[in-house]
Homo-oligomer: A and B are copies of this chain.
Amino acid sequence: MVRWPAEAERLDHLRAAGRARLLLVEGDGPPPIAVDRLEDWIRLPAPDLDLRARVDRLARAAVEAALEQPLVDDDGLLRYSQQWVSLPPVEARLAAALVDRFGSVVSRDALTRAAWSDGQAPGRNALDVHMSRLRRRIESMGLLITTVRSRGYLLAVAH
C-alpha cells in the first residue's frame, strides 16, 4: 500500500522489485497509469469493503504471478511450484541469471559474467558443460532450458 503521490519513490522501488502494490490516491490529482497487472489504485476516502476488494484482487494476481515464476534463493536452492533442487555455486549463479530474465534469452556472455564474477571465462566450453548439467537437474521440475543458437539460452516451462 503506497500513498500517492506522497510516496512516489517507494512506488518505484516496489515496481522494480515486481511486487504488488495498491496506490492510495490522495487529493484531486489524476491516478497514475498502471505499469502492469500487479498495480491498482483507489481514491481516498474509500469504504473498507472497496479497499479490501482491490487488495484481494491484487493478492490473487500476485499468487498467480509467483506460481509460474521460479526463484533462486540465497542458499543456492532453485524453487519452482512447490519443488526445489539444490544447485552447486556456479550452476546456482547461472540459474539466477536465467530466472532473472525468465522467458527471454540470456546471452552466453551474460551467463559467463554471472557465473564467474572474477571476470575471466575459464574455458571456451565450460559454460556448455555447466548448462548441460543444469539442464538435467531442473528437468525433473518441469523446467526447460532451450538453446537459441548463436544468441544464448532461454529458461521456460516444459510443456
Contacts and interface: CB of A to CB of B under 8 A. Distances in A.
A37 interface: yes
A126 interface: no
Copies in the complex: 2
Interface residues on A, range: 20 to 34
B75 A152 contact: yes
Given A43-B47, A43-B50, A50-B43, A75 B34 contact: no
Interface in A100-120: 104-105
A16 interface: no
Interface of A: 28, 30-31, 33-34, 37, 41, 43, 46-47, 49-50, 53, 56-57, 73, 75-77, 86, 88-89, 104-105, 146, 148-152, 154
